[in-house]
Chain A
């Protein structure tokens, strides 16, 4: 098959005066795991509702398998949704919940039950057929919701913050299971979340959304290591942002006069341009390891022990408006009030285009 599985073209949607989606364009490849990541109000859930057919967009079109599905009812499009609250039918047993979609398609009872059992076994709930949803734990309900959506063999599975209601440990565990399940069934998953760790762990293709627009999209490794915008650099993982002006050009490098001093990085740019540099916390060091760029002295104002590392906040002495976020090994002895000298390898300074 050629072309993307799902194609969203120039989609805009407003709720009263609030622009929920602003000219969104997005392709989803067959068999991929796409995560829509963004804070609440970024439009990610609106986009998912439009994909599922629960909301008709004011502008733009949705194509699935090359067919225009923009005006198609949820029942008639090749999508299935896993709702945030799971939306399990409380009066039906697990087997009937999972079999509901097949029943609506007129699949005979015996065949339906066999298929339901098979799908339940796949999500690890082989023995839950005759239980009622209220007898299950949160994680089990989640699996039933997954099975119910997968059993109808959708081309695209839509997941609306599916792990939001689970506690942290269970969330990480379900996260691994989701990924394994997706690889096994090969269905394209589109998953909405505001949890960047979840996004990084699950996505083949990560779409960062903010205020109705797509800020950045790509493989999570790329989005993390080379974020395209200031928003992405601070929302998908933390970053220290430095703003500055391009001073002059050298061979393959530019000198940037930042708030904390001049730095040279390899990039192209035009003199006089205002630019922003982002530095990931793990790239800031407390000792010079050439070739690295000196960021000047900073005073530590906060130390948070996080197990495998310590997260420091250090205010630049040269420019107190800049606060560095630094990750150091947890055996490193640092305390609030200490003054440290900070360095960063030039290659790890990310030039943000927006």
Chain B
């Protein structure tokens, strides 16, 4: 009976993980297909589709665009989120709870709504569709996240550190850069990598706000319109790989923080 129970539990566990990872596994597997269709039987392994992807300038330039948008928008989101968190943690603001709620509100709004809102606003203001517009959209969605992560790690114990620095003669900007930022480094790094992950994967806002130069997810969607082929699998696998790396970096930093 107990053996049966264990088997059931193990089976259930495997089923859950299979449910989550089987699609990705299939995607990655058929990116190594040697023939032209990503359908069984598996004919690989072969790297020809990766070669094709990396030889395609449209895809590689989209990849570079994606990296740039992710890096710059994440850096901005972290900087703004940190300053907001610092302001809320160190100063008494009128209606602080309400203002904090408002700053984190975009977390609950769908990307589609945010993207549409920015699109309409930029249209009215005469701002053309571009990577910069998409980057602005990514700052909007990632700033609340960075704020929430950094704010949660900003404890009372750092207040005295900042006081000590001021007491020893540091002007406010040095307090910020020599004490607050280095002490908050793990939270800042973690929120940066999480922002990168979200920006890297983001489709809807980029789709709505870019035109000629676009990001990788939008370019993949363009590819998919002409049907499945192992190239889409290969580029999908690359995107997935980068996301995994970013997620692992995020976890490592948070784990190290919690251990120390």
A75-B169, A101-B169, A104-B169 known; A87+B164 contact, CB < 8 A: yes
- The reply on A85 being an interface residue by CB < 8 A is yes
**Nearest chain B CB to A90 CB, angstrom units:** 6
- The reply on A63 being an interface residue by CB < 8 A is no
Contacts of B7 in A (CB 8 A): none
Taking A73-B166, A75-B167 as known contacts, 8 extra A-B pairs with beta carbons closer than 8 A to each other, sorted by chain A number, are: A52-B167, A74-B163, A87-B163, A89-B165, A90-B161, A101-B169, A104-B168, A152-B169
Question: Which one, B160, B174, B183, contacts A104 given CB within 8 A?
Answer: B174
Interface residues of B in 135-180 (CB under 8 A from A): 157, 160-161, 163-171, 174, 179
- Is A104 a contact of B170 with CB atoms below 8 Å? yes
Chain B residues close to A by CB (< 8 Å): 157, 160-161, 163-171, 174, 179, 182-183, 185, 260
- The reply on A81 being an interface residue by CB < 8 A is yes
Closest 4 pairs between A and B when the two form their complex, measured CB to CB = A101-B168, A104-B169, A87-B160, A87-B164
- The reply on A91 being an interface residue by CB < 8 A is yes
Question: Which one, B161, B171, B182, B260, contacts A87 given CB within 8 A?
Answer: B161
Task: Digitize A48-68: 1 where CB-to-B-CB distance is under 8 Å, 0 elsewhere.
Answer: 000011100000000000000
- Compute how far the CA of A148 lies from the CA of B160 in the bound complex, rounded to whole angstroms: 14
28 example contacts (A-B, Cβ-Cβ < 8 A) are as follows A53-B167, A54-B163, A54-B167, A73-B166, A75-B166, A75-B169, A75-B170, A75-B171, A80-B167, A83-B163, A85-B157, A87-B161, A87-B163, A87-B164, A89-B164, A89-B165, A89-B179, A90-B161, A90-B183, A91-B185, A100-B170, A101-B168, A101-B169, A104-B168, A104-B169, A104-B174, A148-B164, A149-B168
- Compute how far the CA of A47 lies from the CA of B8 in the bound complex, rounded to whole angstroms: 67
- The reply on A105 being an interface residue by CB < 8 A is yes
Contacts of B179 in A (CB 8 A): 89
Contacts of B183 in A (CB 8 A): 89-91
- Is B168 a contact of A75 with CB atoms below 8 Å? yes
**Nearest chain B CB to A50 CB, angstrom units:** 13
Interface residues of A in 143-157 (CB under 8 A from B): 148-149, 152
**Nearest chain A CB to B111 CB, angstrom units:** 36
- The residue among A52, A89, A105, A134 with the most chain B CB atoms within 10 A of its own CB is A89
Residue of A nearest to B179 (CB): A89
* B contact patch SS: helix
Chain A residues close to B by CB (< 8 Å): 52-54, 73-75, 79-81, 83, 85, 87, 89-91, 100-101, 104-105, 134, 148-149, 152
Contacts of B260 in A (CB 8 A): 134
**Nearest chain B CB to A157 CB, angstrom units:** 11
- Compute how far the CA of A73 lies from the CA of B171 in the bound complex, rounded to whole angstroms: 10
**Nearest chain B CB to A187 CB, angstrom units:** 15
- Is A100 a contact of B168 with CB atoms below 8 Å? yes
- Compute how far the CA of A75 lies from the CA of B162 in the bound complex, rounded to whole angstroms: 12
- Compute how far the CA of A73 lies from the CA of B172 in the bound complex, rounded to whole angstroms: 11
- The residue among B167, B170, B183 with the most chain A CB atoms within 10 A of its own CB is B167
Contacts of A53 in B (CB 8 A): 167
Contacts of A148 in B (CB 8 A): 164, 168
- Is B169 a contact of A81 with CB atoms below 8 Å? no
Question: Which one, A79, A91, A134, A149, contacts B182 given CB within 8 A?
Answer: A91
**Nearest chain A CB to B54 CB, angstrom units:** 40
Contacts of A101 in B (CB 8 A): 168-169
Residue of A nearest to B160 (CB): A87
- Compute how far the CA of A18 lies from the CA of B170 in the bound complex, rounded to whole angstroms: 32
Contacts of B185 in A (CB 8 A): 91
**Nearest chain B CB to A333 CB, angstrom units:** 52
Contacts of A85 in B (CB 8 A): 157, 160
Contacts of A73 in B (CB 8 A): 166
- Is B168 a contact of A152 with CB atoms below 8 Å? yes
Contacts of A81 in B (CB 8 A): 163-164, 167
Contacts of A52 in B (CB 8 A): 167
Residue of B nearest to A83 (CB): B160
- The residue among B166, B168, B183, B185 with the most chain A CB atoms within 10 A of its own CB is B168
Contacts of B163 in A (CB 8 A): 54, 74, 81, 83, 87
